[in-house]
Every structure is written in C-alpha cells, then in structure tokens.
Structure 1
Amino acid sequence: MITLIFWLKTYTIYQVEFSLGIENSIQKFLLFINPISSTLFFLSFALLFKGKARNRAYLIIHFILSFVLYGNVVYYRFFNDFVTVPVLMQTQNFGQLGGSALALIHPTDVLYFLDFIVLALLVLTKKIKPQEKLSRKAIATAFISAILIFTTNLAIAESDRPQLLTRTFDRNYLVKYLGVHNFTIYDIIQSSKSASQRAFADSNDITEVKNYTNSTYVKPNEKYFGAAKDMNVIYISMESVQGFLIDYKLRGEEVMPFLNSLTKDSNTLYFDNFFHQTAQGKTSDAEFLMENSMYPLPQGSVFTTKAMNTYQGLPSILKSNGFNYTAALHGNSKTFWNREEMYKSQGYDMFYDSSYYNMLSENIIGYGLKDKPFLKESIPYLKEMPQPFYTKFITVTHHFPYPLEEKDRTLEPATTGDKSVDQYFQTARYFDESLKQFFDDLKSSGLYDNTMVVMYGDHYGISENHKRAMGELLGKEITPFEQAQLQRVPLLIHIPGEKIEGGVNHTYGGQVDVRPTILHLLGIDTKNYIEFGSDLLSTEDHQIVPFRNGDFVTPEFTEVSGKCYSNETGELTQDSKTCAQYSEAVKKELELSDKTVYGDLLRFHEVKGFKPVKRSTLDYSKAEHLNQQ
C-alpha cells in the first residue's frame, strides 16, 4: 500500500513540478514506472525489523524519501536542476538563503506530505497493527523484485539513450529515465568516485590535458595585445543581469540606461553573443570560470568541494607579472560559498568581506550589503591599494526573488502577474544606478583613467520556470531554442583613454574565454597555462560555447538536450553530422576540465615565471589588515 501510494505521488510530482522533455512513448512509460524500484527497495529495509519497530522504520524511510523528493521540487523551481550530494554539503550557505528559499515554498506543498501524515496517524493510533514475522524468503523477494524492476528499467532506458550513465552531463536525462531516488543513488556513487580521483592522479595525467590546451590555443590579436598594459583591473560581477536587459524598455523607459550607455561608449568592448556557463555553483561558478578558464563541476561547486586544490588563477598570474596587489570585495560573510578558502587558493592578497563594511540593518538585503553602500564604501579601499592592482566586486542586490524597499525603487514593476519576474526590473534598475555611482566615484578618486573595468553577468536571473511571463515581455514563445538564447549575459570591457577601438563585438563566447582575453589585453601571453577558453579578440577564436550539461552554442547552431537547431531559423537542422562533431568536441573538453579539477592536476604543472600561491602567508582578518596599514 505504501509503495503504491508513494509511487503515484512521485509520478504526480513529475507531471506537476518538473519539465523533463518527454519525447516518445518509451520515455513516458519509463517516467511512469521508474519510481517503483527505488520506493520498493528502500521500504524493503523496514522488513528487516520486527513488530512496532517495523512500523517506525516505515515512517522514517517514508519521511526521508518524501523529504528528498520535496527538496528536489523546491530546488528545481528556481534552478531547473536536481539536488546533488555536493550541493547538500554546502551547509555554510543554507543559513543565508532566507527569502530566496521561502519564495520557492508554496502553501499547497503540504499536500506532498499528506500520505506521510495519514500513515503516521494510522500508526500512532494503532489502526495499523505490527505485522507478523516474515520469512527470509519473503524479505529477499522484496529486495530482488526491486532490483529486477530497476534492471529492466535501465535496460529499456539504455535502448533509448545509449551510454546513459557514462556519456551524459544532464541530470534531467537521468531523472526522466531512472527517477529522482535512483538518480540520488547514482549521484552518491559518482561523488564517491570523484573524491578518489586526486589520490590516484600523478604527473602523467596532466600530459593529455596540456596537449589538448596547446592544440586549441589561439594567438592574440596584435591590434589589442597589450592595449591595457600596466593598467589596474576591476572585475564587477553583475548579479543575475541577463543580456536581454541591454536596451530593453519597460513601458517605453530604459531599464538600465547607464549600462546601455557603456555599450555605445567608444572606450568599451561590448560582446552581445556572450553566454554564462555556470552550473550548480551559480555566482561562484562564474568566478571560477572567469579567473581560471576551466569549467565548473557537474555536481556542486568547485568553491565548496575543491577549494584546497592547487590553482593558477588570474590573481596569482597577475602577481607573477608585475601587479602589486590583488583583492576581492563582497558585502557578505567570508564563509558564504567558502570564499575565504577559495580566495587563498587563487592567491588573493586580501578579501574585504562584510566585516569591513558598515552592515547597518537598513542597508542589508537578501545576500548582504546593498550595492550602493557596498560600492561607495569600497572606494577608500581601492585608493589605498598599491598600483597596478586587480580587484573583483561581487554585487548582490539584483538577486532572486528581487525584493527592494520602496525608497530604493525608481521604476515601476512589470505587470505579468509573476512576482519575481515583475520585480526583476526594479532591482536591475537599482544595480544600474549603483554602477553609475561607482563610475562617478572612480573618476573622483583619480583611479578611473588608469583602470580597465570588466563587467559581466554572472548567471541567468529568470529561470526556465517563468516562460509564460518572459514570453509576454519579449513578445515571443520561449521554445527550448529561445531558452538557450536567453542564457546570454552582458560582457563589457571598458578601457579609458582611446586605447582600443570600442563597439559591439558579435563573437560567440562564454565566461571560460574571459581570462585569456583580459591577459592578452594586459600584454601577458597565456600559451603556457592550462586554460579551456580562447581570446575573444583573436582572429582565430573557435566560437564554440559549451554548457555544463553538454549543450552548446555556435554562430550557426544551438544544441539543446541532444537536439540541434539552426540559429538562423530556430528550427531543427538537417546538418546532424556537423552538430555531432561539435557535441563530441564539447564533451571532450568538459571531461578534460573535470579531470584537471578532480585530480588536482595543476599541482603537477609548472609555468616558467609563475610564482605558486603560498596559502599560509595569507590572512584576511581585520586585525592583520590594520597591521599591514
């Protein structure tokens, strides 16, 4: 009875909460039956107990299964993804989720626990009496039945999707073929395997990676190489800013007028075909991509699971090439996303976290200090840094679910009826005003003329679950092809002093490509470093943008969930051979990047002139900072 009810509940949740892209009758059948094997298997453990203990075991197992299922429901509502073991290990982040998590919980969600509540009442009121002793044969039959059902399920799945467990990076595939709980088991196994890779890695493993990055290296464009030599560098992570916001007007009014003006500035390179490539680590993934030119992990975040690895990140490369100071600035706790530890591995001299800012209650929202006071209070820190310096700013106000106090609103919300989408434009305007304020303060400080400012959208702000509202705002149906195009985020490289020929650059690229682009602008060749991106300004740039799940975008094609579309028409293309070649290249690159991170292979890679990071010498405490002053 319990197995039957839980099976039907799970299938109902599949239909109501998840968008898994069911394409044929085999997938429909597998989606229907896949909850049976895991439900039967786990509940069978209760049969090992006797009397009242067995009923209690049923309750405990039932609750755990329900909790895992519901956890995936809440997570999927924003991330369109499923919870993995590394995500669950990010416990330092949970206490700061606040309104973001609450916005994803609906009052009707209690219905997803109704079967457990009824079962608990029946057990507690003794309406269900303890079962009599079962034979070993009966218990074994239950376990064997579960295993046989799973084996049959997997065999049918493999016939429809060959090499399902070895070739796909997309968790949607695994869930629609095998189910949420079987995916969880698979994820636990995969996490255990990845944890052991470092122990078995040796110096020979870096050879394949190095050979690959040597073969994909592109020469810098002589026109731009060294254009920003000896300048300060400032990175600004533009929280949740998507590309469609550029020049977007709401009721005839520009949402982000200052950012729009920068895209038309002769001192700015604006890339309008630039995509985020983040996965479960979101903002931290963007940081990793931008500074290491490697891909985020398929599960969890590099920041939380591989922070103690050896890296040759942008801060340490710059320190090895004449930069005097590197710092990260963020109006939140140093423990969020495990930034303190990861920044030490990247070689940052200093991390100004929330302890360095005036954290007044009226200036705090969501994930930390509002952008305006955060950027305003950061200017004195910039002025005291020895030049040339490299700094990174992590902004937070424009973050889901996009709440903003009345006093900070200078734009009326949209009127789609989707609350988070409607508020999205108000916080985008607030960030735009913060950015203008920062540029004005930078000019007043005397730093502007010798500073290159790199502004990038870190990840999407409006997820796939808001297609109706987005379709209304953009005036078109959000198909899988259009959803992939919405993963564009702005990239602006602002270099004052007429040192470059600015304008709109239509090159296709992603966050993995930024590091070589910036280093070449600074006159630092990247040939000897391990990096999977290529210089966006190079005439030899590959223009293939891989996504973490194995999808990709090129100037001609877009692949989504194994289907290849023509960018010109938005329809499925007949050129399957070219798409297949791109797909194999993307998978190879993702696999090599994962091999590098999981195996901590950069500890075996030496670059002439590069000074390895000494974590033990780095201290971001306020007392130490005062001593340095």
Structure 2
Amino acid sequence: MKKIFSHKLSFFLLAVILVWAKTYASYLMEFNLGVKGTTQQILLFINPFSFTIVFLGLALFAKGRRAAIWIIVLDAVMTFVLYANILFYRFFDDFLTFANLKQAGNLGNMSDGVFAIMSFHDIIYVIDLIILIALCVRMPELKASQLKKRWAAVVVLAGVLLFYINLSVAEKDRPELLTRTFDRNYIVKYLGPYNYTIYDGVQAAQNATQKAYASSDDLTSVINYTNSHYAKPNDKYFGAAKGKNIIKIHLESFQSFLIDYKLNGKEVTPFLNKLAHGEEDTMYFDNFFHQTGQGKTADAELMMDNSLFGLPEGTAFVTKGQNTYQSLPAILNQKEGYTSAVLHGDYKSFWNRDQVYKQIGYDKFFDASSYDMSEDNLVNLGLKDKPFFEESIPMLKSLKQPFYAHLLTLTNHYPFILDEKDATLEKGTTGDDTVDGYFQTARYLDEALEQFFKDLKKAGLYDDSVIVIYGDHNGISENHNRAMKEVLGKEITPYQNAMNQRVPLMIRVPGKKGGVNHTFGGETDVMPTLLHLQGIDNKNYINFGTDLFSKDHDQTVAFRNGNYVTPKYTVIDSTVYDTKTGKELKPNKETENLKKQVSEQLNLSDQVLYKDLLRFHKLSDFRPVDPSKYHYGKEKANE
C-alpha cells in the first residue's frame, strides 16, 4: 500500500474512483432521474468521470506532496457540491442553482426540515475524504513523487475529451440538451451534478447580463403574444364581484387528492369537502394545477398576483425582487381604490417578501411581528394556523374597505409536524413519516379554516367578500411514490405524477351559484379571472393566463419544466398520454404544436422577468408602483 500510493498518479486514480463511486451511489439512492434505456444507463454510469478527472487532474500540476493535499481539497469541494444537491433534492425534489444560493438564509427558518432530511447513511458521501486524509496522515513517507507536467496535461485533456464524448452521445439521445431544457433532471442525468453546476453557473452569468442589454423593442413579441392569447370576459361573471372585498387564502402544500379522501373511514378535510360540493356559494375547480418551479410558495404568489410564471431556476421573489410589476393589488388600488395587505405568521424577510411586496404594491404586511409568537403557538415553520386565523380577524377589520387580503398558512408544510394536543386524526399507516403526517396537518388546516369562516361571519366580513382558496404546490414529492401508491391505490407513473399536481381552487362569489367546475387551469389564470370578476378588463395588461370563466379560456396548462396538460392530452417529456385514461398515445401534430406553444409561453414570461421588461410597458391608466411609498414596520390591527 505504501509503495502503491507513494506516487501521486496512483493517489489521483484512487480519488477519481472514490468520487465516482459515491456520485453513482447518489444516483441510485437519492435522485429520481427517470433513466430509460441502455444509453441513459451507460451515460449515468460514466458521467461523473469527465469532470472528476479534469478537476482533480489540476492538482497533478502541483509539485511533490502538495499534489495529494490539493486532491483532497478539490475532492472536498466536489463533496460539498454533491451533498448540497442531495439535501436540496430531498427537500425540493430539484437540484440546487446559483440563484438558490441567494436564498440560503431561508434555511434558518427551516431547521426542522433540514435536519429531518439528513440520514445516517450520508456518511458514505465523506468516506472518500476520510480514506484520502488517512493515507496522508498515516503514511508520512508519502512523497507523491513528481509527474512530468505533460502527463498531467494529458490527464486533464483526456477528461475534456471524455466530456465531449459524453455530451455528443447525450445530444443524440436528447437533442438540444443544453439549449432547450426546462428541466435540470436532464442535465444531471446526462452530464452529472458537477458538469451541471458549471452549466448553471454559465446560465446565471448570462442571465445577469440580459437586463443590462434589454430595450423596449424586446417587449413587442410579449405584447403580441398576450394580445393573441387574450380571452374575452364572460358576461355572466364580468363585474359580478365589483367593489367587494377579496380574501385570498393560501393553503400550504395542499393537494387535491385530499378532497373527499377518507383515512380509516374518516374524512381528512370535511369542511373543504363541503365547500367543494357547492356549499357557501363556492365554485370548485377540480382540474386546477400548480405550475410552480423551485420557488414553490413564492412562485405561486408570483403567479397568482402577476400572471407571470416563476423562473426556471431560483425564485423571482429573490433574484428579481427589484423588478417592475403590473400586479393585481396595484391594479385594484388604482382602478377601484382597494387597500391591500398580506397576513403571514412568519417573519417578513423570508423569501425576500419585505422587499418584493413593495414592488408589487401591498399597502400593509402583517408578518410574525404582528402576531403572538409564543412557544405554544408555534410549530415547524412558524405560527400555527388556528391562532393565525384567529388573530387575523381584527387585522382584516382594521383595513379600509374594499380590501384585497392575502393570507398564507404554514402548518401543513413539510415535514408535516403537529403537536399531539392539536391532532384530531390519526396518522396514516404507510410507514412513510412524511406521507403519514400529511393527513394530520391537513385536518388541522381544515379545522382552522372552518373556524375562520365562522369568525368572518361574526365580524361582518363574510357577506360582502369574495373568498379565494387555493393550494400552492405539491406537499408530497415524487420521492414518496411508494407510499402514495398505497394512499391512492394506483401505480404512480409519470402520468399520475402530473395528475398529482392538481391543487384546489375555490372561488366564492356572493350571489353566484356554487358547484364543481371541470375547466382545466393553473395559477397564472387566477389574476385575469379576478380582474374580470371586478369588471376590469385585463386586455392591456401583460398576463400569461386567461379568465377561467371565459368561453375563450385556454385550457392548456403549462408546467414549469415544459410539460403540459389539457383535457385531451398530458405530455411528460416526449411521452403523450390520454388525460382521461392515462394510456400512452403516439405524438401527433397537435401535441407537437402545443409543446411549441408552451415553450413560447414560458420563454416569453422568462424574458419579462430576466430583462425586467414591464419597466418599458407604458399604460395610460396604470402607474408603475413606487416601492419607496411602502414601509412595513410592526403593523397593528388598530392602525
């Protein structure tokens, strides 16, 4: 052993093999990459090598023992990149981006979730470092003898050549891999997590320059698209809610499969079930899908208030927090004199809300500093839903009417923790802690919501208010498909995963009949719908969604990764399914055209955000929001 590893080339080869082994192990144990066919299996097997050879190979240019030390240091960097992606993937079912690094402070508010996703077997991701360090420490005579620099160069060039071979094979299996992807899974599957990190860094640098070189001419194609995509309002609903308060309730991580679901013979969400079946004058959209990306909750907020898609990486709330927006609260204020407020049992800096809400034009922000944040009232991310709703009533009463209020719940959030004293439903029995706890926190949220409705009526706020209830994103990711198969009683195929993106949307309009509406739609469609209910035509605004009540509504629901669903087709990557049956179909001209339309829609929305194009959009009846006019101190209900 001493003789073998006395040469730095041997030490280098050992390091390469160890890094490859732990990276490949992570593919098998951590990531759901959707590998299909022999080509993809081979690429998955070899793709860690190219970057590892090049990156660790740089250490071979060092003299003597320093080469071994630099190999260990570079290995440590790669270990950090890999493990950071593993933790991020466990939490968000996605890969880390440079845009996410700006959001690192949010992890401080998610300590329960971060520690919950760590595992004892994670030790395998540092074993290589332990071995390499031990070799250096226990073998003081290790000299890592000199290697001629030309051989070091050959090693690095061999790694570069291997990368190009890897890339060319990947491009044959997935054409335009690096130019048209909306899904980071593909990059990692074909090129590995380390090459993906380099790719993402290049993309981040390119995006940073886009705003600097943007001009009003870039807005032309966006305006042409939104004009052609416009859906005329339905006369039956246009202006039906004019001048009424709007209370929008954000159901954290709530998926539609919970509606009418029974656990051990008991309804999980009895109150929401009643709303879904037409009580309280409520319209329930049972084919409503979340369209969020990495931003999750923040993406949902962006779409609901701006009819823009979230970004393909990171969240616009952080990376585009200084952009100009044509938001729902700003339009309601300028057109109808609405006061607006956000109510949330977390602190205002989370997701950069204290800054981006000023850009959106919210008058008030009742954050955690406005609530009783004593220990008994807290669980998981922040304030429990029951005290949150109870304490929100006087805050709502303090707002000048008509008002637009956005309330965000918290308790039904991963890892779905609930105090025993608050649980009125037994956990599930799948053996998956995440899924089993989900039912308890969903029941708690349902009970909190029922009491909130009663309190609204007592406060005199119910009768003259539009109430919007929506789920923001999946609570249960694809990492829990085994348990979800047991819950739903069906195989969790890629098609079923798409169906599981259904989240509830309920709109209660005073005086309008409730019921179940089977229209397909997504979160970008809510803003134009609410504008038309107020009697405000959205035609001149940059909206990427369309009115759900309109006869011209576009029922093609684009997902952030470029997939889509319609009443007829569900398209996941290159596979087409019948939406009603889930059976695979052959791609056809219609599905290909829809794919192109979805790609255009996402691309144009991205251009609006990356280039801050709304700063160039001049309207005679809308003034850009001046963020300097808003200040969020400790809001009080009697102000």
Instruction: Give the TM-score, by structure 2 length.
Output: 0.96
Residue 44 (structure 2) pairs with residue 31 (structure 1): yes
2:211 aligned residue = 198
Contact 2:211-2:610 at 8 Å conserved across structures: yes
Q: Which moved more, 1:383-392 or 1:8-17?
A: 8-17
Output the CA distance in 2 between the equivalents of 1:308 and 1:446: 37
2:608 aligned residue = 596
2:417 aligned residue = 403
Q: Secondary structure at the match of 2:58?
A: helix
1:628 Cα shift? Answer: 9.4
Q: Secondary structure at the match of 1:191?
A: helix
Aligned pairs for 1:486-497 (under 5 A) are: 486-496=500-510
Q: Which amino acid aligns with 2:23?
A: T
Output the CA distance in 1 between the equivalents of 2:551 and 2:514: 16
Output the CA distance in 1 between the equivalents of 2:515 and 2:393: 28
Q: Which amino acid aligns with 1:309?
A: N
Residue 154 (structure 2) pairs with residue 141 (structure 1): yes
Spell out, residue by residue over 1:181-232, the C-alpha distance to the aligned partner (whole angstroms, 9 max, x if none): 1011000000110111000000111011000100000101001001111001
1:282 aligned residue = 296
Output the CA distance in 2 between the equivalents of 1:406 and 1:323: 45
Contact 1:456-1:490 at 8 Å conserved across structures: yes
1:323 aligned residue = 337
Aligned pairs for 1:479-558 (under 5 A) are: 479-496=493-510, 498=511, 500-558=512-570
Correspondence for 1:131 among 135, 144, 156: 144
Q: Which moved more, 1:430-439 or 1:69-78?
A: 69-78
Output the CA distance in 1 between the equivalents of 2:184 and 2:42: 19
Aligned pairs for 1:398-477 (under 5 A) are: 398-477=412-491
Residue 122 (structure 2) pairs with residue 74 (structure 1): no
Spell out, residue by residue over 1:18-71, the C-alpha distance to the aligned partner (whole angstroms, 9 max, x if none): 221222211111111110011111112222333333222111111111121122
Contact 1:78-1:465 at 8 Å conserved across structures: no
Output the CA distance in 2 between the equivalents of 1:524 and 1:61: 58
Q: Secondary structure at the match of 2:126?
A: helix
Spell out, residue by residue over 1:90-128, the C-alpha distance to the aligned partner (whole angstroms, 9 max, x if none): 122021111111111111111221111111122222357
Output the CA distance in 1 between the equivalents of 2:24 and 2:36: 17
Q: Which moved more, 1:11-20 or 1:202-211?
A: 11-20
Root-mean-square deviation over aligned CA pairs: 1.4
Correspondence for 2:59 among 21, 46, 54: 46
Output the CA distance in 1 between the equivalents of 2:123 and 2:284: 47
Output the CA distance in 1 between the equivalents of 2:536 and 2:339: 17
Contact 2:484-2:492 at 8 Å conserved across structures: yes
Residue 344 (structure 2) pairs with residue 344 (structure 1): no
Correspondence for 1:578 among 566, 590, 597: 590
* TM-aligned CA distance change 1:68 to 1:555, over 3 Å: same
Residue 368 (structure 2) pairs with residue 354 (structure 1): yes
Q: Secondary structure at the match of 1:167?
A: coil
Output the CA distance in 1 between the equivalents of 2:54 and 2:592: 38
Q: Which amino acid aligns with 2:126?
A: F
Contact 2:254-2:442 at 8 Å conserved across structures: yes
Contact 1:270-1:505 at 8 Å conserved across structures: yes
Contact 1:232-1:451 at 8 Å conserved across structures: yes
Contact 1:54-1:130 at 8 Å conserved across structures: no
Residue 32 (structure 2) pairs with residue 19 (structure 1): yes
* TM-aligned CA distance change 1:266 to 1:378, over 3 Å: closer
Q: Which amino acid aligns with 2:585?
A: T
* TM-aligned CA distance change 1:627 to 1:558, over 3 Å: closer
Q: Secondary structure at the match of 1:130?
A: coil
Residue 143 (structure 2) pairs with residue 158 (structure 1): no
Aligned pairs for 1:79-98 (under 5 A) are: 79-98=92-111
Q: Which moved more, 1:87-96 or 1:233-242?
A: 87-96
Q: Which amino acid aligns with 2:384?
A: K
Q: Which moved more, 1:53-62 or 1:547-556?
A: 53-62
Output the CA distance in 1 between the equivalents of 2:228 and 2:465: 33
Contact 2:268-2:442 at 8 Å conserved across structures: yes
1:8 Cα shift? Answer: 2.2
Q: Which amino acid aligns with 1:365?
A: V
Output the CA distance in 2 between the equivalents of 1:221 and 1:127: 81
Q: Which amino acid aligns with 2:595?
A: S
1:627 Cα shift? Answer: 12
Residue 396 (structure 2) pairs with residue 382 (structure 1): yes
Output the CA distance in 1 between the equivalents of 2:259 and 2:284: 11
Residue 318 (structure 2) pairs with residue 304 (structure 1): yes
Q: Which amino acid aligns with 1:345?
A: Q
Count of paired positions: 625
Output the CA distance in 1 between the equivalents of 2:637 and 2:513: 43
After TM superposition, which residue ranges in structure 1, 4 or more long, deviate above 6 angstroms? none
Q: Secondary structure at the match of 1:558?
A: strand
Contact 2:395-2:636 at 8 Å conserved across structures: no
Residue 218 (structure 2) pairs with residue 218 (structure 1): no
Q: Which moved more, 1:344-353 or 1:107-116?
A: 107-116
Q: Secondary structure at the match of 2:336?
A: coil
Q: Secondary structure at the match of 1:477?
A: coil
Output the CA distance in 2 between the equivalents of 1:574 and 1:140: 49
1:313 aligned residue = 327
* TM-aligned CA distance change 1:182 to 1:575, over 3 Å: closer
Contact 2:307-2:527 at 8 Å conserved across structures: yes
Contact 1:214-1:527 at 8 Å conserved across structures: yes
Output the CA distance in 1 between the equivalents of 2:252 and 2:499: 18
Contact 2:310-2:560 at 8 Å conserved across structures: yes
Q: Secondary structure at the match of 2:507?
A: strand
Contact 1:266-1:503 at 8 Å conserved across structures: no
Residue 265 (structure 2) pairs with residue 239 (structure 1): no
Q: Which moved more, 1:182-191 or 1:25-34?
A: 25-34
Contact 2:329-2:338 at 8 Å conserved across structures: no
Spell out, residue by residue over 1:299-346, the C-alpha distance to the aligned partner (whole angstroms, 9 max, x if none): 100011000001111111111112331111111111110100010010
Instruction: Give the TM-score, by structure 1 length.
Output: 0.97
Contact 1:269-1:492 at 8 Å conserved across structures: yes
Output the CA distance in 2 between the equivalents of 1:438 and 1:74: 36
Q: Secondary structure at the match of 2:593?
A: helix
Residue 501 (structure 2) pairs with residue 478 (structure 1): no
Output the CA distance in 2 between the equivalents of 1:269 and 1:606: 35
1:621 Cα shift? Answer: 0.8
1:268 aligned residue = 282
Output the CA distance in 1 between the equivalents of 2:587 and 2:73: 52
Q: Which moved more, 1:141-150 or 1:272-281?
A: 141-150
> 5+ unaligned residues in a row in structure 2: which ranges?
1-13
Contact 1:416-1:472 at 8 Å conserved across structures: yes
Output the CA distance in 2 between the equivalents of 1:79 and 1:338: 18
